[in-house]
Amino acid sequence: MIPMRGGLRGIGVDPKYAPAVVILISLLVGVFVLQMVTITAVAIAGVIESVRIGAFFWVLGFILYGLLSIYAPLIIIRVIFSIAMLSYSYRIMRFLVEITEPLLGPLRRVVPVIGRFDVSPIVALLIVWVCQAAVVSIFLRNAPFHTF
């Protein structure tokens, strides 16, 4: 709670809101973890079933879709941690930067900053979602057991 209060003071917000912010962040992390577990389970089940019936084109589709589904929440978590001013010295932040920077770095050079806000993560999420839709329509179009 104390680091959150200091972080809130640093951005000019009353530190009395720290408990509410911690609860909100905990809920968001819970939703992200649940989403990642669910999508990973669906992707693994899809890969197993595809291998069982010999549909290797679907195996590739489920793997790609699963990886993209994990990548999107990582971008969002990185944005949240950046807003919370989590330092690069933390191992989790270094991991998130190393994983997401290959997409966000080039986008930052192309997408203009609006005011003080970097909108490249929003563009990155749109790209990931378009890629997911492409994977579903190309690789998993006739897969009878996907739930996307």
Residue located via tokens 């003080």: 116
Summarize the confidence of residues 50-59 as an average pLDDT.
90
Per-residue pLDDT at 96: 93
pTM: 0.76
Position 138 pLDDT exceeds 70: yes
Asked whether 58 and 143 are in contact (CB, 8 A), the reply is: yes
120-131 pLDDT tens trace: 999 999 999 999
Position 99 pLDDT exceeds 90: yes
20-54 pLDDT tens trace: 877 887 888 788 789 888 888 888 988 998 899 88
Please report which residue ranges of the chain form alpha helices under DSSP H: 2-10, 18-53, 56-83, 91-110, 120-138
